[in-house]
Amino acid sequence: MSTSDQPSGDLTHVALFPSAGMGHLVPFLRLAAALLRHHCKLTLITSHPAVSSAESQLISRFVSAFPQITELKFHIVSLDPLVANSDDPFFLQFEAIRRSVHLLTSPLSALSPPLSALVCDVSLISSALVLSATLKIPNYVLFTSSAIMFSLFAYYPFVKMSDPSGDLIHIPAIGSIPKTSLPPPLLVDNSIFNKIFTQDGRRIKELNGVLINAMDAMEGDTVAALNSGKVLDGLPPVVPIGPLLPCEFENPEGKSPIKWLEKLPPRSVVFASFGSRTAASREQIKEIGIGLASSGYKFLWIVKDKVVDKEDKEGLEEVVGEELMEKLEEKGMVLKEWVNQEEILGHRAVGGFVSHCGWNSVMEAALKGVPVLAWPQNGDQMINAGLVAKKGVGMWVEKWGWGHKCVVKGEELGGRIKELMESDVLRARAAELKEEAAKAVAVGGSCDRAIERLIGRWSKGI
Ligand code: UDP
Ligand code: UDP
């Protein structure tokens, strides 16, 4: 391994190209921090205007923390939602960035020293391949979900033709995924998501490599299968670089719940939060409140009322309702703002996590050893929830279905929270994963070695 004594990355200049949404930006910036620890030179391509304030704020904190990086501000051409056939602001941004990528050829060619590699978001494959071919540099993807989800991404364009019927999708050397767990937008013909899956998925073989925030203890078997050629012949190397470590620069300003947690006994608090882009209906918000209040545990609940934070203007009391809010305040803490999730999950008072199972959240729970009550809301989250349950790090109540479609009653939720908080089995398994994760991120551990290998490849132009 090399840190300061053996600067391995000195000759390597890498451009990182994330797409929209915190779930994509966060892992890119954590990768950036890891590459900087290994002395890479970095250019970060930031797309403007960003969809959410959370993204703009995180980028500015990152750039201040690491003044040695070059930020390439990329002004994208905006897109007519009708043309793109979507009303999801993050997906519209995906498409707008995809269509603007050609504008980067000239600024990227002018960089000095010249680029050794491009690491782009999975949603940019087809346009980024043109870019990297023009620049004559290797093209890698940082896949921002699980390895099992990547196996679906790789295999789906082929399965669709060969097996249109049946309830399961069988992925060779991996196993079966129920069709009910597929990301709902994948099943919408001509959606941006469907297009990325079916068109870009076919081009994975043209990439030089795929980086995934995966670790052996959770997905070693899946990564091995992907690299064995048995899932699909000719896939590029899949490099597990996880768990990606949260960093100091991510700390938001604002009301930290840590002081409140400090006063509470170990594992006495359940943390409920649903990521950066999942807005619950008012009806569901009420039921979550009732559920938390009846669980018998203290709770820290992050309420999210709008998909995009800039539009989230109503106060907590208006959203939750005054009467319920009064009841909740006696038993827990309720916030409606961006919090430092990794710090919360790492606090000894937190004993359980009600999560939508966005992949970053799952990996953070594993890193901190917190058992999860999986409540998938949309996207890749049901596939991730299946993995959470299979690996014993949490429980998934399958009959709840998709959070964005069905309302779960407070009483039911409260009962499941109790089950989560009282399960010795889940707690023990989560503790084991935490140990495995600690080994992976230790100096000279599997994460360091993976980054070293990547830098070695990039320095040779592969
Ligand atoms: N996050 C956070 N504070 C919040 C909400 C989210 O730090 O108040 C972080 C969370 O720790 C994770 C990321 O934002 O790193 C969200 O990514 P994830 O894949 O879990 O879900 P998504 O937001 O993409 O649905
Ligand atoms: N999606 C959503 N809420 C979420 C996560 C995803 O509405 O918390 C939608 C998203 O808008 C997209 C689809 O689900 O249309 C696919 O999401 P996925 O998580 O697979 O993609 P990503 O988060 O990587 O963009």
368 within domain boundaries: yes
Angle at 191 (CA atoms; ends 187, 193), nearest 5 degrees: 80
Nearest to 289 by CA among 333, 255, 256: 333
Atom of ligand 2 nearest to the CA of 23: 23
User: Average of pLDDT values for 28-45?
Assistant: 97
Helix pair 22-37, 53-65: axis angle to 10 deg:
10
pLDDT of residue 80 exceeding 70, the answer is yes
Q: For residue 274, what is the domain's CATH number?
A: 3.40.50.2000
pLDDT of residue 347 exceeding 70, the answer is yes
The total of structural domains in the chain comes to: 2
CA distance 458 to 227: 19
Judged by average pLDDT, the poorest of 40-44, 78-82, 264-268, 422-426 is 78-82
CA-proximal residue: ligand 1, atom 6 (nearest): 275
100 within domain boundaries: yes
CA distance 263 to 266: 10
Write down the mean pLDDT value for the chain.
94
| Residues with C-beta less than 6 Å from any ligand 1 atom | 21-23, 26, 273, 275-278, 302, 338-342, 358-361, 364
Q: How many A from CA of 185 to the centre of ligand 2?
A: 8
pLDDT of residue 429 exceeding 50, the answer is yes
CA distance 404 to 307: 12
pLDDT digits (tens, 9 = 90+) for 376-391: 999 999 999 999 999 9
The one-letter code for the residue type at 328 is L
4 within domain boundaries: no
| Residues with C-beta less than 6 Å from any ligand 2 atom | 21, 23, 88, 90-91, 144, 183, 185, 193, 275, 277-278, 356, 377-380
For the question of residue 380 being annotated catalytic, the response is no
56 within domain boundaries: yes
**Does one domain contain both 229 and 311?**
no
Would you place residue 425 in the very low, low, confident or very high pLDDT band (cuts 50, 70, 90)?
very high
Q: What's the pTM value of the predicted model, to 2 decimals?
A: 0.94
CA-proximal residue: ligand 2, atom 6 (nearest): 379
**Does one domain contain both 105 and 237?**
yes
**Does one domain contain both 291 and 237?**
no
2 within domain boundaries: no
**Does one domain contain both 236 and 329?**
no
Which ligand lies nearest to the CA atom of residue 28 in the structure? 1
**Greatest Cα pair distance in the chain:** 64
pLDDT of residue 433 exceeding 50, the answer is yes
The β-bridge relationship of strands 117-121 and 13-17 is parallel
Which ligand lies nearest to the CA atom of residue 374 in the structure? 1
For the question of residue 121 being annotated catalytic, the response is yes
CA distance 34 to 382: 29
ipTM value for the complex = 0.89
421 within domain boundaries: yes
Residue numbers of the domain that contains 90: 9-247+440-459
User: Average of pLDDT values for 270-290?
Assistant: 96
